[in-house]
């Protein structure tokens, strides 16, 4: 996937301000990053796995100005269209996983020492969560 991502970035916005790394987010992430991005990768993993990945980012980041960016389809409890429910049902049937709500992600981020700084609605009923490191570190290892 890294070669595909690198080629796309080179064609569209350039690669002078980004570094791409492959690896296992449950073991470690590259040190010193300003932004760590999770784009639609969390739904098939347990809560504890997600907390482990978030914790690795918290410890590897470059400093208090670094951010964690989560781009995903979230479960919406009120005023939802049918699309998020169908995505969640599809994921449950194919992998046994499920999408999370903002509240559930907030709880997982809290365990790893992050606070949601803001959220933004994106096209196709996706959501961006921007998390900032909490002063004082994590509450769960």
The domain made up of 2-133 is a member of CATH 3.40.50.460: no
Q: How confident is the model at residue 31 (pLDDT cuts 50, 70, 90)?
A: very high
Give me the pLDDT at residue 97, please.
Answer: 66
Give me the pLDDT at residue 141, please.
Answer: 42
CA 4/CA 20 separation, integer angstroms: 11
Report whether pLDDT(65) > 70.
Answer: yes
| Secondary structure element (H or E) that encloses residue 132, with its range | strand 126-133
Q: Which residues have a Cβ under 8 Å from the Cβ of 52 and sit 6 or more positions away?
A: 26
Q: Are strands 114-122 and 35-39 parallel, antiparallel or unpaired?
A: unpaired
- What percentage of residues in the chain have a pLDDT greater than 90? 52
Domain positions in the chain:
2-133
- Greatest mean pLDDT among 74-78, 95-99, 103-107 lies in 103-107
Q: How confident is the model at residue 95 (pLDDT cuts 50, 70, 90)?
A: low
């Amino acid at each position: 996937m890294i070669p595909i991502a690198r080629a796309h970035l080179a064609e569209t916005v350039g690669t002078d301000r980004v570094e791409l790394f492959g690896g296992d987010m449950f073991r470690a992430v590259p040190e010193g990053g300003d932004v760590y991005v999770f784009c639609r990768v969390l739904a098939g993993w347990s809560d504890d796995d997600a907390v482990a990945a978030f914790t690795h980012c918290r410890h590897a980041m470059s400093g208090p100005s670094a951010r964690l960016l989560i781009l995903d389809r979230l479960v919406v409890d009120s005023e939802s269209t049918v699309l998020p429910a169908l995505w969640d049902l599809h994921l449950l049937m194919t992998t046994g996983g499920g999408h999370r709500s903002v509240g559930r992600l907030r709880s997982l981020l809290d365990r790893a020492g992050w606070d949601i700084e803001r959220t933004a609605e994106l096209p196709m009923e996706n959501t961006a969560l921007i998390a900032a490191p909490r002063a004082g570190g994590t509450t769960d290892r």
